[in-house]
Amino acid sequence: MNKPVILVVEDDAPIRNLMVTTLKAHDYKYLTAPTGQEAVMMTASHNPDVIFLDLGLPDMDGIDVIERIRSWSNIPIIVISARGEDEDKIAALDAGADDYLTKPFSVEELFARLRVTIRRLSMMNSDSGTDRSIYTNGNLKIDYPAGCAYLNGDELKLTPIEFKLLCLLAKNTGKVLTHTYITQNIWGRSWDNDIASLRVFMVTLRKKLEQSPDPTEYIQTHVGIGYRMIKV
């Protein structure tokens, strides 16, 4: 795969410069757009591989940009928001964003997010040809039709809910899923008590996945936001 093309949508010049400089230093190709309108046009005309999208744009709401792009494309979108705007982040994720970055962010953080997204891209591409009924991620293997999950070849003893959760996360590997999204998919509703149950199930599921002496972290917790399965 070629070095991916990244579209940076950010109205603040210093931050745009910072991101561009960082991307240049690591040999990524990049495009920039200072407004939402331009972002949508650039996405349509240049078809970038990943979009970094600032939520506070001057001309239109970041959520609208996501919705417009999502109407025709599945390009991974990483939103950038200021601290203390959890609601915006969750709304963006629910609108179809894949991940988020919080200002102020470090360069390492930016690249960590980018790497996760690119791995996911490559997995999506490679998966398209192979058998979709079997999912593998590191030592984790899920056999969807059989309803079984294996870690290091041993079958995991999961409750039905835990299995459903695992499948949901696996099918969205690399994507941050909000609490609301998960509870909606598992229980069909999102009551306070369901979110509490989700927390408990997640902890038990993670314990089962990370029981080996040298555990690999498959599921990331994003406090106040949701969970994500990582491609290891």
Binding site for other proteins (CB under 8 A): 83-84, 86, 104, 159-161, 187, 192-197, 199-204, 221, 223-224
Quick check: 226 and 185 in contact, CB under 8 A?
A: no
Nearer to other proteins, 126 or 159 (CB): 159
* Minimum separation from the CB atom of position 152 to other proteins (A): 22
| CA-based nearest residue to 51, from 18, 97, 108 | 97
Residue with tokens 């102020």: 104
* Minimum separation from the CB atom of position 141 to other proteins (A): 25
Write out the two tokens for 112.
């960590």
Q: How far apart are CA 5 and CA 3, in angstroms?
A: 7
* Minimum separation from the CB atom of position 89 to other proteins (A): 12
* Minimum separation from the CB atom of position 201 to other proteins (A): 7
Beta strands in the chain (DSSP E): 5-9, 29-33, 50-54, 77-82, 99-103, 134-137, 140-143, 148-151, 154-155, 177-178, 219-222, 226-229
Nearer to other proteins, 98 or 194 (CB): 194
Nearer to other proteins, 122 or 212 (CB): 212
Nearer to other proteins, 13 or 44 (CB): 13
